[in-house]
Every structure is written in C-alpha cells, then in structure tokens.
A and B are shown apart, each in its own frame.
Chain A
Amino acid sequence: MATASSNIKGFYRQKKKESGIRKPTSTKSDKSSLLHAATLGSDFTPPSALVSHGSPDLKDDYDKNEDVLRQFDMNSAYGPCLGMSRLARWERAQRLGLNPPKEIEDLLKGTKVRSECLWDGCI
C-alpha cells in the first residue's frame, strides 16, 4: 500500500462535529418512568433486548415515543396486539378494566406516532 499518509484521512471519515439540530436528549428518570408505565400491572419484565439504551449512532427510525408504544404492544396483559390499531387496543384494555397507563393514550392521540402495532405489515 504505497498510499501517501495524506490519503488516509480520505479513507476514514471523521466524526461529525456536534452542530446543527439535534433531538433533545431526555433525562434518564423521565425515560425509565415512561418505559415502566407500559408494563404496569403485569409480571412481565421486558427483555433487555427490547429496552432501548439509546446509542445515537445505531438508532433506527424510531424514537422514545415509539419505544414506549412498542413496550405497550408487547405487554401480554392487554392481549394480543396483532390486527388492531394501538388506540383500539388501549380502549379495549380500558373497557375491560385493565387500567392501561394514561400516557399511552396521550401519546396515541396527541403526537405523531405510528397508529398500528409493531408487527403490522410484517406478519
């Protein structure tokens, strides 16, 4: 490899500087309370693979709201998630007296999140 050392920088992309618009990082307590909100009322502890530890470089196209909603989808206390919209499943859980956390309803009605469950379109 008789490349000049000046070309090495061309090979390896430098890290981007911290500039421009970034999503505000949430505080840890806020995030964990929302995560646990989705699993309230059941024995179910989500496996750590599903709990997002938020490393910015490896983030897919979902954010922490979507993460919370995915926890809600996976929670078996509220029944199967496939084939129903998330809001319909939340309302069913409410009607059956399962006390689903209010934050989920606010997320689904307020912010711009996916209305269908995690597996919609995949199965």
Chain B
Amino acid sequence: MTAMEIDTEKNIQRKHSTYQSLDKTFDIQNEIYRGQQYSQIYFARLHTMRTLLYSLVTHWKPSCPCLLMTFISVILEVSGNLEVMVVFRVLDFNGIGCEVYVVDRGHLYMVLVNFISGAFFKFFFSPICNGLGFCTVLGLEEGKECIIVGTLFKHMQLKPCVLDEYSKERSAVPLVKPHNFMHPDDHLVLEDESGRVKLGGTVLSPSTYVTGGVVALHGKETTAGDFLVLDVFEAGLAPQIEPQLKSREDKYVVFISGVSVGSSTSNPLQFQLLVDHITGHLGDEQEQGIAAEIVHVVFAGNSVEIPLGLLNGQNLASKDQSRVSEAVQVLDILLSQIAAGVSVDIMPGSNDPANFALPQQPLNRCLFPGSRTFNTFNSCTNPHCFELDGVRFLGTSGQNIDDLKKYSEARDELEFMERTLKWRHLAPTAPNTLGCYPFTDRDPFLIESCPHVYFVGNQDKYGTRILEGSEGQMVRLISIPKFCNTGLAVVLNLRNLECHTLSFGAQPSTLKTFNDA
C-alpha cells in the first residue's frame, strides 16, 4: 500500500527491507515458576564468561610462540578432536618434555609431551598463561601472582536495603543523591563458586564497575587477605558478522521512545506530526521522497502512560475504566496509521502495561485491535534484537542503563552502553538491582554476537557515537531521548550507519519540521 493519498500523478513507492526478528532468547514461553533461584543465573553467567575469558586471556598476556610444532601432530593423532591453541613453554626440569595447551570443549588443559616416546600424559585442568597460573578464589596463595576470574560484587553503603526498616537507629542519614547510590567507601569483591575475596589496589576503580560483571584479574593475595589487583581484563566486544554495507541505497530506520501517550507532559500534536511525516502526509514531494525511504520504525518503550492515580488497587468506577484504556486506544489508532505503510516494532518500557522483570514480554496484541490486523505490526520483547537487511540491531527501553546510572558513574549514557558491550552483558545489574526472571539454564542477556547498532531508549538526551572494537568491530551507539520531553526522534541511515535527529515542535511560532544532521 502506498503512503500517498494526495493529488499527485506519480505515486512514490516506499522502499522495502528484509526484517528478521532474533528475540527467541528473550521469550519466556513455557517457563513456570517452580522455586528457581537467582543463584542459577549467576552460575550460568559465570561459567559461560569464564570459559570465554580463559580462551581470550592469551590476547591479554601474549607469550612468544614455541618452536615445537612438530609434536602437535602427535597429539592430534592420539585424541581426535582436541584443538591445539598455543604452545607456551618448554619445561626444563628433565629437559625432555614440553607443555602444550589444548582446548577441548571449552576447557583448557595442559598436556605434557614426552619427546622421546611421543606419548603424552593428560594433566589435570591447570591453565597457565605466560607463567601465571589461574586459580579459584579458595586456591589463592599469599604473595603468589595469579589470575582469577569471577563475578564482581560491589559493596555499597548507600544502597537501599530492606533491612533498614528494622534497624534500631531510626535517625537514618538522609540520602544526598537519592538517584545515585555511590559513596567513596564502596569496594569491590570478586566471587566464584569457591568463595569471595575483597579487591584492593588502585587499578580497579569501584565507580566504574557494578555488581554482576565477570572479569579476569591479575594480582596477588596480600597478608591482610585482600587481593591486590595489578591488571584487569574484560571480555571486550563480541565477534561481529560483517554487514554488506556497499551498494546500498539510502534506507532509514526511525527510533522513537518515551512517547507517553496519555501523560500530562506529552503533546498529542507532536506525535501526530511524527506519524504524518513517516506516512508521507506532510510536506512537498521532496519531503515525501525522503519519507518514502523510511523502511522501519521502532518504538523503544514507554509508549503509553496510564494515570497512576487509577492504579491503586481499588475497583474502578465505569468512568475511570474508560480513562485507563483511553491512552492505549489513542496509541493504537496512531500505530495503525504507521503500520498501514511501514513495518513497526513496539517494545515495552518501564511504564507500559507489560511485566516488570526483564526480559519484558511483548505487549499483548489484544491491546492493539486496530494495528494487529497489519502484518507489518510487531509487538516485541524488551530487550529487542533484530536484523534488517543484514544489519544487526540490539536495544532496550532504557532500564539497563538507568540502573547502571544509579550504581556507577560515567561521562554520558554512551559510555555506559560501551561498558555493557565490553562486558558482553546487556544488564549486569540484573538480578541484583534490576528485576529479572529467574532463568536456570542460561543467561539470556549475554551478548554473543556484537550488534552493528546498539540503541537505548528513554534517555535524557540524544547522543550517538561509533564504537570500534579490537578486532575491527564497529558499533553505532544511539541514546534515544524521551519524545514527550524533547520532541526528538532519531533516524539511522542503513547505508552508512549515520544518525541524525528529527525534531518536532508544536510551538505556535516554530511550527515546522526540520532534519538536522
């Protein structure tokens, strides 16, 4: 269906793109709460990240390659599917053997090769990296340098605790900054299955890290029982599949978040202007030509705001019932106008009628009786991952970054986003301070493949940057501002991943739309 209905002789066709949703990992289909515990998700997270970090740690402390590659064929012969990773050093206690490091199903083994006979003795799992041993927290020896991998826990004094209600001293110190719980005395603790150890030293600054991230640390145990950190290693950006960005035409993706239909701060005219612009009902032919290049629209959370005063648990009077559903009905009407012309994704946010814990499940289709008749309408999970013409998008409605803002500090939202990508985890503070479904078999927020575009909605201001990884990955980071406050929507060009904003104003004196690059 063309987006034009006005009197022109030639119709401008909208461009198409292939869309594929990758939200399967965020779906909670048949999971039933049977008493699952949050410790399970922490175990899944730690194990997956630890295996990954062990295999990556050679990039961190590289050693010189060994000369004994001839013996590798012997090893491969003897046990079929071992992959030889790298050979580290020659043992010289008896002068006739060497250590070879092999990876078998994600585990790193040290294998002793005897030169004379070619036979080998499989050693116990004792990974060694350039002379530094890995060990568990319980296996730390005082004064010996080693590498430990575990989950970080940040002990925060000002973090609200449910036990504060019961504390005898009722003269509580008032929080100076109720939206940020940092304190100079916060310290970090590293934890794995065997135990936990307090981290000391100046390399690791507690203000950068949050509870839930998995890192590798090089250091040694001190006499006081702390672990003195000498160096930190994060997993870094995940491997990225190359998008074919050449030979493309300009195709645009529009991101909006925080529309908040039904709230007192939102201006319905602004939203209507946006809808009209996307559907091509605004502007002259040139403007319509630009609008015809929009191939996808994403609503990144908080599309509706139901008046909170009505949701106090009491029975609703009939006039109040219509007020509750009004906002969603208006949203449905506007969404159907967009869905009639272009494919649209709607993600739930913190204020939307969806579940609270991450991953938020898609907004129920019965809320959108008008829009759901269009096959271009997709109700998606939060976080949302999809591919458009081979370009991979990953984004959330903002809860993960908002939580990071409360427990750590950074220059801007983009730096928080960069950290989540480097830690390879969308929401490291879940389930500690961010509501999360108690998965037992996996952690769905681990980022396995680096996206090309990473967006976060409902932020205070617009920001965008290209992040480059150590292996040539390139990610466009986008921080989408709240539409009800700023009137800004973000437009991304699929051809070169460049971003600009669309600003909609409804002031009588500035009634125009303009693109600013």
Known pairs A83-B40, A88-B440, A91-B441; list 5 more (Cβ under 8 Å). Answer: A79-B40, A79-B193, A83-B36, A97-B107, A120-B35
Chain A stretch 57-88: residues in CB contact (< 8 A) with chain B: 76-77, 79-80, 82-84, 88
Q: Which 4 A-B pairs have the closest CB atoms?
A: A79-B43, A83-B37, A80-B39, A83-B36
Tell me the nearest residue of chain A to B51, going by C-beta.
A97
Q: Give chain B residues whose Cβ lies under 8 Å from the Cβ of A95.
A: 441
> What is the distance, in angstroms, from B106's C-beta to the closest C-beta of chain A?
4
Type the 1/0 row for A16-40, where 1 means its CB is closer than 8 Å to any CB of B: 0000000000000000000000000
For residues 70 through 123 of chain A, which have their beta carbon under 8 Å from a beta carbon of chain B?
A: 76-77, 79-80, 82-84, 88, 91-92, 95-99, 120
Known: A77-B193, A79-B44, A97-B107. A92 touches B440 (CB 8 A): yes
| 30 sample A-B contacts, Cβ–Cβ < 8 Å, listed by A number | A76-B193, A76-B194, A77-B193, A79-B39, A79-B40, A79-B43, A79-B44, A79-B47, A80-B37, A82-B37, A83-B36, A83-B37, A83-B39, A83-B40, A83-B438, A83-B440, A84-B36, A84-B40, A84-B440, A88-B440, A91-B441, A92-B44, A95-B441, A96-B44, A96-B48, A96-B106, A97-B105, A97-B106, A99-B105, A120-B35
Tell me whether B34 is interfacial, beta carbon within 8 Å: yes
B-chain residues with CB within 8 Å of residue A120 when the two chains form the complex? 35
**A83 close to B105 (CB less than 8 A):** no
Smallest CB gap from B107: residue in A: A97
- Which B residues, 99 to 122, have Cβ-Cβ distances below 8 Å to chain A? 105-107
The smallest C-beta distance from B29 to any residue of chain A, in angstroms, reads 16
Within the assembled complex, what's the spacing in Å between the Cα atoms of A96 and B34? 22
List, in ascending order, chain A residues with CB within 8 A of B193's CB.
76-77, 79
A74 to B34, CA, bound (A): 20
CB B75 to nearest CB in A, in angstroms, measures 19
> Which residues of B come within 8 Å of A, CB atoms?
34-37, 39-40, 43-44, 47-48, 51, 105-107, 193-194, 438, 440-441
Q: In the assembled complex, which residues on chain A have CB atoms less than 8 Å from the CB atom of B44? A: 79, 92, 96
Q: How close is B123's CB to chain A, nearest CB, in angstroms?
A: 14
Question: Across the interface, which residues of A come within 8 angstroms of B35, CB to CB?
Answer: 82-83, 120
Chain A residues near B40 (CB-CB < 8 A): 79-80, 83-84
Q: How far is the CB of A39 from chain B (nearest CB, A)?
A: 14
- A91 vs B40: C-alpha distance in the bound complex, in angstroms? 13
- Minimum Cβ distance to chain B for residue A120 (Å): 8
CA distance A98 to B104 in the complex (A): 11
Chain A residues with CB under 8 Å of B441's CB are 88, 91-92, 95
Cβ of B39: which chain A residues have Cβ within 8 Å of it?
79-80, 82-83
Q: Which residues of B contact A84 (CB under 8 A)?
A: 36, 40, 440
Given contacts A88-B440, A95-B441, contact A80 B43 (CB under 8 A): yes
> B34 — which chain A residues lie within 8 A by C-beta?
83
CB-CB under 8 A from A79, the residues of chain B are: 39-40, 43-44, 47, 193
- CB–CB A96/B37 < 8 A: no
Interface centre among B36, B43, B107 (most CB of A within 10 A): B43
Q: How near does chain B come to A102, taking the closest CB pair, in angstroms?
A: 15
| A82 proximity list for chain B (CB < 8 A) | 35, 37, 39
| Residues of chain A with a CB closer than 8 A to B48's CB | 96
Q: Which residue of A lies closest to B106 (CB)?
A: A97
Tell me the minimal C-beta distance from A74 to chain B in angstroms.
12
